[in-house]
Amino acid sequence: MKRTPIARKTPMKATTIRASGKRKASRPKMTPARVNAKGQPCTLQLPGCYPGPDNEQVQLCHLRMFGGGGTGLKPHDAEAIFGCTHCHDLIDGRRHLIPELREQVSFFEHIAWALIRTGRLQREAGVSIWKGEK
Ligand SMILES: [Zn+2]
């Protein structure tokens, strides 16, 4: 049986190779806000918080629960907080609190405070600058 090839109606989708010939990076690896996060205090401070000596385990934790991201996309760096590995795992659902603590801890209250503390620290460090601010 002879088959006729299926004719393509639309052209092949463009690849991510730019005109310069270089391949587009999948994501920005280190932004100023992410570099600045290392060594900062954990602003979440959930039960069991352990930022490590010299806050070495602290990184910028993007808050996905408020939208702003998507599959393979992180929310903007402004929608992130400084969190240690432990607290980061808790808010991302990789780790869980014991049921007795889960009832006592208000995650959204911790996140609200963490956003305020992170914003203050980033403005002090000059990572985040508001319009009109020097
Ligand atoms: Zn922590």
Domains of the chain, earliest start first: 30-125 (3.30.50.20)
CA of 12 to the centre of ligand 1 (A): 47
CA of 69 to the centre of ligand 1 (A): 23
pLDDT at 54: 93
pLDDT at 111: 96
pLDDT at 33: 94
Across the chain, mean pLDDT equals 88
Q: Which residue has the tokens 């602290």?
A: 58
CA of 89 to the centre of ligand 1 (A): 9
pLDDT at 72: 80
Regions of the chain with pLDDT less than 70:
13-28
Helix (H, G, I), strand (E, B) or coil at 75: coil
pLDDT at 92: 92
CA of 41 to the centre of ligand 1 (A): 8
CA of 36 to the centre of ligand 1 (A): 16
pLDDT at 8: 83
CA of 114 to the centre of ligand 1 (A): 10
| 3-state SS string for 3-39 | CCCCCCCCCCCCCCECCCCCECCCCCCCCHHHHHHCC
